[in-house]
Copies of this chain bind each other. A is one copy, B any other.
């Protein structure tokens, strides 16, 4: 994945998203719903947010990507996730999973483990959440994990959960279990708004609808999001304006803006 290839794929895939307006079915948390819907539209796709059991099969079977995010849970929502997973698998709908808070509570770790065991296509989390999927006791403490991750570990997780893995942090790792990429883009401001990780999930899910190599889709989504973040930070006066500018920058993102700033390396 050199810069030229990224430029070509991204150019093509951004255009496809805007043309096809793929339906991204979200089962996500109450805090992020509005932001995730807005950023999904901003990149060009079409969000649906529903956890109603009675319509899950109808909606997920015609979706282009299913996004599952465990940021706020109850029994009903967990069942909705299982129904949705099942329908997605039957209909070959790609699945992005965001294990918010996995490692912080038993409920989240158990739910996350159950979901990755069902089989998903991309797992996106912060480093602590990703580490928790290894099932090693005591790796994560609290919700804001300070755990360090490296190419080795992220590859191990990917092989274990049999999916592309995106581990965000000071640097972001993306792997399909074989190749590992590290990206050094982004801004501290992305940590100053809520639903930041959730919105990244929505952007990656939008690329998964048009790019069948999910390693590439994950890199595209992460690159657009981080670089939109950099551009937004430069013109923001605080976290309130940053949030709005981030959505504006995703709305206006181009392959050119991305390749201009991308810091992407393959780790051997």
Residues A107 and B52 in contact, CB atoms below 8 Å apart: yes
Q: Is A142 an interface residue (CB 8 A)?
A: yes
Q: Is A246 an interface residue (CB 8 A)?
A: yes
Among B46, B49, B240, contact of A243 (Cβ-Cβ < 8 Å)? B240
Contacts of A29 in B (CB 8 A): 49
Residues B143 and A195 in contact, CB atoms below 8 Å apart: no
For the complex, what is the distance from the CA of A52 to the CA of B192, rounded to whole Å? 25
For the complex, what is the distance from the CA of A50 to the CA of B38, rounded to whole Å? 23
Q: Is A150 an interface residue (CB 8 A)?
A: no
For the complex, what is the distance from the CA of A76 to the CA of B76, rounded to whole Å? 11
Q: Which of A32, A35, A37, A54 has the most CB of B within 10 A?
A: A54
For the complex, what is the distance from the CA of A100 to the CA of B37, rounded to whole Å? 15
A: residues with CB less than 8 A from B are: 21, 23, 29-35, 37-38, 41-42, 46-55, 58-59, 62, 71-74, 76, 104-108, 142-144, 191-195, 236-241, 243-252
- Nearest 3 Cβ contacts at the A-B interface: A238-B248, A240-B247, A238-B251
Known contacts A55-B106, A59-B105, A238-B252; 8 further A-B pairs (Cβ under 8 A): A29-B49, A37-B194, A38-B243, A41-B194, A50-B72, A53-B74, A192-B251, A239-B248
